Amino acid sequence: MKILVTGASGFVGGGVIKRLNEQSNFHPVAAIRREITGLPESVAQVRVQGLAVDTDWSLALKGIDHVVHAAARVHVMDDMAADPLSEFRQVNVLGTLSLARQAAAVGIKRFVFISSIKVNGEVTSANKPFTPKDQPAPVDPYGVSKMEAEQGLYELADETGMEIVIIRPVLVYGPGVKANFLRMMSWLDKGIPLPLASIDNKRSLVALDNLVDLIITCIEHPAAANQTFLVSDGADLSTSGLLSRIGSGLGKPARLIPFPVWLLHATANLLGKSDISQRLCSSLQVDISTTRSLLGWSPPISVDEALHKTAQHFLKQQENDDLSP
């Protein structure tokens, strides 16, 4: 079975490509803008002009059975675009739907779309995790664009009969993770004291290994057709608990200092970093019981094992960087 994977140069898409290549019944094809180094030589690479409304996908879709669509204009802090929502819509909505229409036109059976938990919202209250059936409540332009793409895909499924699968991941981490997660590991590795010991929230995370396993399950599983799935490691952590576990993986206990949460919020607001304080202090939990029951799926790797693996990769990378000239 030939699977086209978009976003193959990204964290999730690259993980999907590598896992598919390890399984004899799948033959992955990477849709790329430029040649990617580091992918297995057996993976076919087809160049496309990007995820745009006028992109011609005919060559990339030739002979393909299923599509895993992980490419997107990603959420970034401090977006400087004059009209961020318009920019996100051009890529995440119009570009996605153009690809999906072309896929349906050539008889693609199933289109797996990697969306975002931001479609549900940003914050959950105590013991009320998000579920797939919740009314969407995106807050930022990225979340809105993912919601609109989902809606357009389901309309396309009704029109064409192509099966759609929506997966909404929470924060994804794993070996090679970037952005804020990498920043946290760097702080812990350097032994920087962090005023985060008083945070008593609950946040769902998902290891790349677990997310990729679910994506591959959804490629063929008959019960996945035209369903929306939330995904996590199945164990929610407080920010302080997460930092402690990462520190353990690094072999450097986290130096966490008690500090009033309200003062953290106030300081962040003064510095124009309210988004960061929200992510550090608020809760965001997801209920994956539907994912478990419909697919008979469970996260194959525990959160402790995944965090240890991530931390060890970080240390090895630091060692390699130190040895390079």
Closest CA to 139 of 88, 199, 105: 88
Torsion of CA 179, 183, 185, 190, to 10 degrees: 160
Half-sphere exposure of residue 248: CA atoms within 13 angstroms, side-chain side: 12
Distance (Å, whole) CA 218 – CA 227: 10
> What residues does 6 pair with on adjacent strands?
31, 69
> What residues does 247 pair with on adjacent strands?
none
Q: Identify the residue whose tokens are 């064409």.
A: 160
- Please count the other Cβ atoms lying within 10 Å of the Cβ belonging to residue 129: 21
Cα distances (angstroms) measured from residue 36 to each of 75, 179, 260, 273:
22, 21, 46, 35
Separate counts of helices (H) and strands (E) for the chain: 12, 9
Which candidate in 142, 187, 229, 314 is catalytic? 142
Side chain identity, residue 271: L
Distance (Å, whole) CA 33 – CA 9: 9
Distance (Å, whole) CA 312 – CA 199: 26
Pairing of strands 171-173, 205-207: parallel
Tell me, yes or no, if 142 is annotated catalytic.
Answer: yes
Active-site positions read 142
